[in-house]
Amino acid sequence: MTLSPDHPLKDGRTAQSPLITAYRGARPSNRPVWFMRQAGRSLPEYRTAREGVGMLEACLKPELAAEITVQPVRRHGVDAGIFFSDIVIPLKLAGIGVDIAPGVGPVLDRPIRTPEDVAALPRLDDSIFAPIREAVRLTVEELGNTPLIGFAGAPFTVAAYMIEGRPSRDHLGPRTMMHGDPSTWQALMEWTADASGRFLRAQIEAGASAGQLFDSWAGSLGLEDYRRSAAPYSSRALDHVRDLGAPLVHFGTGTSELLGAMYEVGVDAVGVDYRLPIQEANRRLGGRVVLQGNIDPALLAAPWNVLEAHVREIVRHGASAPGHVLNLGHGVPPETDPGVLTRLVELIHSI
């Protein structure tokens, strides 16, 4: 199935937008910028909207999720909305006991560790994504010509939460399982790839104009483990949406050594974290790949002249890639002054 004729990519709303033009490897007149975690605690209007509503509960209320998604677009004039949701939403919708503990992150009632745990994972059915489709529909109606980016967690990052049952620093659980019990690992990663892939498909079909796969913890893997035990499942997740023709972006942190392998999963653009200079990322990818990034989130709290010089440097070097979408090297820290983000968008649009 392809996109319906009234999809924003098909009916003239977003196909020529600066974001989609850059993702497709061309140079738009206006340099596109958006921020990972642009919807969130840095915005007073977000804190008001979320009062008394749990994180995952908020994601599943279509009107609220749409409102929160649009807030940063309205305020900052960024070139894209990123759908307000979470990488564990497919698990929640499939019936797995998971919540987001404030200030901690995803926590499961029962970690998934044994072959029996994996065999007992629920069967996936696309009807579970009805509230997601509805939220996306409401969001794109309001966004008009500004594209919405849909997203999903890459299987490795989602499986890391499932196995550990909570956030962890070194991800020993998944790294042990991939070597110690490869068949259980494979079954878990296939289930997770399909859950993330169907979640992303629901968003793109309902109106998102691009898709981003977040492999936030891929950087805890060496290249060989990444290629063998993570990348094939990221590719499998994206197989769910390739026929739709929306541009796809792949982002992770600590991935300086993995960028080539992340591109080879089959995407249009690669997100670069703040650790690697963008010109070095471009060099490692042979100058052939559209890049997204990589303003250091730490500099959002530095004096303006320091931040401005840093951003100008990234814009200058980003220009040697076939396309460049400005973003942070990871998410907006909650304590960020939102005025700095608005000013940054103005600066980037003026260069």
Known binding site for substrate: residues? 37-41, 86, 161, 216, 330
CB-wise, 191 or 199, nearer to ligand CP3? Answer: 199
Site for ligand CP3, residues 136 to 195, rule: CB under 6 A:
151, 157, 167
Choose between 84 and 129: whose C-beta lies nearer to ligand CP3: 84
Could you tell me where the beta strands, DSSP code E, fall in 190-323? 210-215, 248-252, 269-271, 290-295
CA–CA gap between residue 149 and residue 39 (Å, rounded): 13
What is the pattern of x (binds ligand CP3, CB under 6 A) and - over residues 98-117? --x-xxxxx-----------
CB neighbours of residue 292 within 10 Å: 30
Q: Does 41 bind ligand CP3 (CB under 6 A)?
A: yes
Nearer residue to ligand CP3 within complex by CB, 20 or 332: 332
Measured CA to CA, the distance from residue 72 to residue 338 in angstroms comes to 9
Closest to 113 measured CA to CA, from 33, 173, 50 = 173
Question: Which residue is associated with the tokens 């060099």?
Answer: 283
- Mask of contacts with ligand CP3, 216-235, x by CB under 6 A? x-------------------
- Backbone torsions φ then ψ of 229, nearest 5 degrees: -115, -5
Interaction between residue 82 and ligand CP3 (CB under 6 A): yes
Q: Which of 351, 349, 350 is nearest to 34 (CA)?
A: 349
Minimum distance, C-beta of residue 234 to ligand CP3, in the bound complex (Å): 13
**Please, which residue, 86 or 296, has the CB nearer to ligand CP3?**
86
What's the rounded Cα separation, in Å, for the pair 231 and 155? 9
Feature table: binding site: 37-41, 86, 161, 216, 330
Nearest residue to ligand CP3 by CB is 216
Radius of gyration of the chain (CA): 19
> Minimum distance between the CB of residue 287 and ligand CP3, rounded to whole angstroms?
27
Question: Is residue 40 near ligand CP3 by the rule CB under 6 A?
Answer: yes
Q: How far is the CB of 331 from ligand CP3 (least distance, A)?
A: 4
Tell me the C-alpha distance between 314 and 56, whole Å: 35
Contact 178, 159 (CB under 8 A): no
Instruction: Give the binding site for ligand CP3 (CB under 6 A).
Output: 36-41, 55, 82, 84-87, 100, 102-106, 151, 157, 167, 214, 216, 331
